[in-house]
Structure 1
Amino acid sequence: MSTPVIAIFDVGKTNKKLFLFDENYQMVYEQSAKFIETVDEDGFPCDNLENLRLSVFDSLRAAFSKKEFQIKAINFATYGASFVYIDEEGKPLTPLYNYLKPYDPALQKQFYDTYGGEQQFSMLTASPVLGNLNSGMQLYRMKYEKPDVYANIKYALHLPQYMSYLLTGQPVTDITSIGCHTNLWDFTKNDYHEWVYKEGIIEKLAPLVPSDSVLAPTFPGTGYSVGIGLHDSSSALIPYLVSFHEPFMLISTGTWCISMNPFNNTPLTEEELKSDCLAYLTYKGQPVKSSRLFAGYEHEQQVKRIAEHFNVDTAKYKTVGYDPEIIAKLKGRSDAGLTSVSKDGLKESPFAQRDLASFNTYTEAYHQLILDLVTAQKASTELVMNSSVKRLFVDGGFSKNPIYMNLLAAAFPKLEIFSASMAQATAVGAALAIHSEWNSKLLPTDIIELKYYSITQDVSL
């Protein structure tokens, strides 16, 4: 007899994965592939949309061919701030533009001058000024820089909803994608910001439907339904909201390290916005005060630099354990003061400015990198922390890094610090969002394994 499962596509900036989970949320199948980059019309790197489309179909055909599984539902969680512009026939009109692409300063000034100025606008939309990372600004750019293309856009679909569209043919909009630093949503009105209506952008946005909705598929297969997709950061929070009810914070680590506090609904301040704070919306539409740090990307870049300097494999860091004696030595260095990070200076870790020749070993240099990143992480996380929080969970790549976790415990001595181990929190969140549509069992209470980190050495940050 075949096992009932849900298929989840988890698409990050680096990897795209397909998981199958059984009704106990145990992963029973995994397929992974690297993204193949291409370039847009300006030569700026971007993900290959056609490659992604074909891989969705190929991966699903392979999964459906496995007779030991019965796919009951499919859902998606992807990185945010990325639109796919489709025409009347549902075909993409442009490349999948990279959210790191520079934004024209003159056009950005035009926008904010028209709609109340950066500070006021950012506070209403809970969106720091981030250029193309504010995905609504991508639509504004299309309207003014590519009016011919803009005129042919039937719908602008965020990437999770485009992936759902591939299997259903139904264009929809999801609140978790709209609510993540897009400049589109007015958190004070719980509606689109007035500029979306004044500029006619609303006509390019598909109908807004609940995040736990499912749609009928057009892709071959029987007896399954398709979710509408979720923004990955909001999806990663779902297992924690289901499992824990006492106030907590989650640091979801990946390319970005997002500190999310579901128990802080105070309005964003000007200082917080300048320090890259924002608010997400949960899949139930509730605001989550959050701060962002580009620490995963910084780690990736600096690990390459260290490996090249010491002539070792770039993956060597995975074998490096936590050594408190090295940390104590590093804190006594003459340049230790570099490690301190002001709350206005969270864009780049100090490690990029360090001379690698000043470190005796790879291990020493790598400890310094993590020390710098955790110092920045502490400053970032504290921006959205409040006194109600007693626990801090860490999931994603850094949760498996013993140096990071031990230093984080030292950074927050009054909190209970846990690395959260589960089979892909982002993917599980997307499965939980539509639990009742595919799963005959009750919501699970034991899907997150926690490892407690205490301060065992005299190390403080």
Structure 2
Amino acid sequence: MPVTAVLDVGKTNVKLVIFAGARVLWQRSVPNAPLPGPPYPHADVELVWRFALEALREAAAACSVDALVVTTHGASAALVDDEGLVLPVMDYEFAGLDAMEPDYAPFRPPFAQTLSPPISGGLNYGKQVFYQETRHPQAFARARHLLMYPQYYAWRFTGIARNEVTSLGSHGDAWLPREGRPSSLVERRGWQRLLPPVVPAFSVIGPVKPEIAAATGLRPDVRVFAGAHDSNASILPHLLTIEPPFTVVSTGTWVVIMAVGASTDGLDPKRDSYSNVDVLGRPLPTAKFMGGREFAVILDGAPPQADAEDLAAVLAAGAMILPAFVPNGGPFEGRHGRIEGTLPDRPGARAAIATLYAALVTDFQLDVLGAARGPLPVEGSFAANPLYCAVLAALRPGQPVLLALDTAGTAFGASLLATWPQVPARPPLAEAAPLADAQALLRYRARWRAAVAGA
């Protein structure tokens, strides 16, 4: 097995993790946040780049790296010329994009073709590019390549421009998941000239540039892989080891629910269900909501720990959270979240109701996808929340909730691109025990769903 460095660029944190098989040899992280502009809120790519070079320098002094893989959050694209960015990489939460919807809407292809729902802000990356083209035409005209975010960093490491389908196919309006080609948006706007060749995520783009090797101490023959969208990276260990159907619940700032083996026929754009594209180019029915962000908003500074007794007190009190607490995405976009009723006087009550809310919306989105069969591997931050896992297990009887408890789950999935299709041995996933008083929970869910439907 090669020693693989994974640069994992998340919305709130950036990590560099070094793997030898499934074993983490070394890791570092740094907080990440967008810059306010001008010309618009945008990713701090230079923070990411400085961190990557410094961390690689430290890592190369500790171990001999063979391969480098980049994984990033979705809904981000980079316009570059031969020297670098011609415009900043837009923050997908840029609310100013909503005002241009009337201009953009005539170019948005039908959902039946792209399986990409209209979403607020810049979560449709096609709208970002349209904004850049129409609001900054001179800079846009200088662009030579339109690169998805993981491949932007791969380009900086290698000097070679490539794209790949997991990022192209992530709710951008610009890709046809069933046909594996650009949509009419790309054709009508003439963006084909900007799209470099599309290669599989597990393809080697090239070696690191000599100046990168010199700056970091990496060997000059270190192979840089195309890389992937982070949610698609998190699904890889399961895609290679679990027989479909199964549904991965990837959690962090976003809760992204990917139903392997499900049909795309019933996807509902009004519920933020759509199709991603997996590393083999196949449609992947997906639903999402900003669960980690909502959890933090609901906590409002309270301790994040809660137990079954805290939850029992919330259920008995009948206090209820109605969506939603962020403006972007999710099945209840446009609604304003609130707590109805009175929380019990317990230190863990707010964490308990925040956890309950996250599990209820996860359960709701699983039903939107028709993901009623097969196990539910849970990745990321909520996998380390025993109460969330116990509630989800009680809400989904017959679907084992499997816990991926390693903190580098997305990065580990990305590392598999360097060994594709081999998977190093890992301990089996633990199964979460369901909440003991499932009947009280199920009665509560019925009331919650009725309240959501009537809101």
TM normalised by structure 1 equals 0.86
Listed as ranges, the matches of 1:97-176 within 5 Å are 97-105=90-98, 107-115=100-108, 121-130=110-119, 131-176=121-166
Compared CA separation, residues 359 and 185, structure 1 to 2 (3 A):
same
| Alpha-carbon shift at residue 266 of structure 1 (Å) | 2.9
| Alpha-carbon shift at residue 349 of structure 1 (Å) | 9.0
Q: Which residue of 2 aligns with 1:76?
A: 70
Superposed CA deviations along residues 134-186 of structure 1, whole A, max 9, x for unmatched, are 11211111111111111011112121111111110001111111011011112
Q: Which residue of 2 aligns with 1:61?
A: 57
Q: Distance in 1 between matches of 2:136 and 2:67?
A: 38
Q: Distance in 2 between matches of 1:391 and 1:292?
A: 18
Listed as ranges, the matches of 1:26-425 within 5 Å are 26-42=23-39, 45-66=41-62, 69-89=63-83, 91-105=84-98, 107-115=100-108, 121-130=110-119, 131-214=121-204, 215-218=206-209, 219-220=212-213, 221-269=219-267, 272-303=268-299, 305-307=300-302, 316-317=303-304, 320-323=305-308, 325-336=309-320, 338=321, 346-347=332-333, 352-354=337-339, 358-387=343-372, 389-422=373-406, 424-425=408-409
Q: Distance in 1 between matches of 2:255 and 2:441?
A: 21
Q: Which residue of 2 aligns with 1:450?
A: 430
* Greater mean deviation of Cα atoms: 284-293 or 56-65: 56-65
* 2:35 alignment partner, SS class: strand
Identity of aligned residues (%): 24
Superposed CA deviations along residues 408-461 of structure 1, whole A, max 9, x for unmatched, are 112112321222223522111111122059xxxx53243553233234334433
Superposed CA deviations along residues 51-81 of structure 1, whole A, max 9, x for unmatched, are 2222222221222222xx2111000111011
Compared CA separation, residues 186 and 238, structure 1 to 2 (3 A):
same
AA at the equivalent of 2:51:
S
Contact 1:135/1:183 (CA < 8 Å) preserved in 2? yes
Compared CA separation, residues 133 and 436, structure 1 to 2 (3 A):
closer
Superposed CA deviations along residues 253-296 of structure 1, whole A, max 9, x for unmatched, are 01110111011133344xx1110001111111111101001111
Unaligned regions of 5+ residues in structure 1, if any?
308-315
| Alpha-carbon shift at residue 25 of structure 1 (Å) | 1.5
Q: Distance in 1 between matches of 2:82 and 2:273?
A: 37
* 1:95 alignment partner, SS class: coil
Q: Which residue of 2 aligns with 1:310?
A: none
| Alpha-carbon shift at residue 109 of structure 1 (Å) | 2.5
Q: Which residue of 2 aligns with 1:313?
A: none
Superposed CA deviations along residues 97-126 of structure 1, whole A, max 9, x for unmatched, are 11011254463223332456xxxx122111
Contact 1:235/1:429 (CA < 8 Å) preserved in 2? yes
Compared CA separation, residues 436 and 384, structure 1 to 2 (3 A):
closer
Compared CA separation, residues 64 and 371, structure 1 to 2 (3 A):
same
Compared CA separation, residues 339 and 82, structure 1 to 2 (3 A):
closer
Superposed CA deviations along residues 327-384 of structure 1, whole A, max 9, x for unmatched, are 3332233544x5599x99534898x422797441331122112112211221112111
AA at the equivalent of 1:288:
L
Q: Distance in 2 between matches of 1:345 and 1:77?
A: 26
Compared CA separation, residues 294 and 189, structure 1 to 2 (3 A):
same
* Greater mean deviation of Cα atoms: 273-282 or 209-218: 209-218
Compared CA separation, residues 297 and 125, structure 1 to 2 (3 A):
same
* 2:65 alignment partner, SS class: strand
AA at the equivalent of 1:373:
A
AA at the equivalent of 1:173:
N
Compared CA separation, residues 159 and 405, structure 1 to 2 (3 A):
same
Contact 1:349/1:373 (CA < 8 Å) preserved in 2? no
* 1:332 alignment partner, SS class: helix
Superposed CA deviations along residues 291-319 of structure 1, whole A, max 9, x for unmatched, are 0011111112222x142xxxxxxxx32xx
Compared CA separation, residues 176 and 124, structure 1 to 2 (3 A):
same
Unaligned regions of 5+ residues in structure 2, if any?
214-218, 443-455
Contact 2:174/2:183 (CA < 8 Å) preserved in 1? yes
Q: Distance in 2 between matches of 1:241 and 1:75?
A: 18
| Alpha-carbon shift at residue 34 of structure 1 (Å) | 1.0
Compared CA separation, residues 128 and 33, structure 1 to 2 (3 A):
same
Contact 1:168/1:217 (CA < 8 Å) preserved in 2? yes
TM normalised by structure 2 equals 0.87
Compared CA separation, residues 200 and 299, structure 1 to 2 (3 A):
same
Compared CA separation, residues 408 and 216, structure 1 to 2 (3 A):
same
AA at the equivalent of 2:237:
P
Q: Distance in 2 between matches of 1:114 and 1:348?
A: 23
Q: Which residue of 2 aligns with 1:311?
A: none
Q: Distance in 1 between matches of 2:139 and 2:277?
A: 30
Q: Distance in 2 between matches of 1:124 and 1:175?
A: 16
Q: Distance in 1 between matches of 2:108 and 2:122?
A: 17
Q: Distance in 1 between matches of 2:287 and 2:226?
A: 26
Q: What is the number of residues matched between the two proteins?
A: 428
Q: Which residue of 2 aligns with 1:9?
A: 7
AA at the equivalent of 2:314:
L
Q: Distance in 1 between matches of 2:106 and 2:44?
A: 34
* Greater mean deviation of Cα atoms: 255-264 or 325-334: 325-334
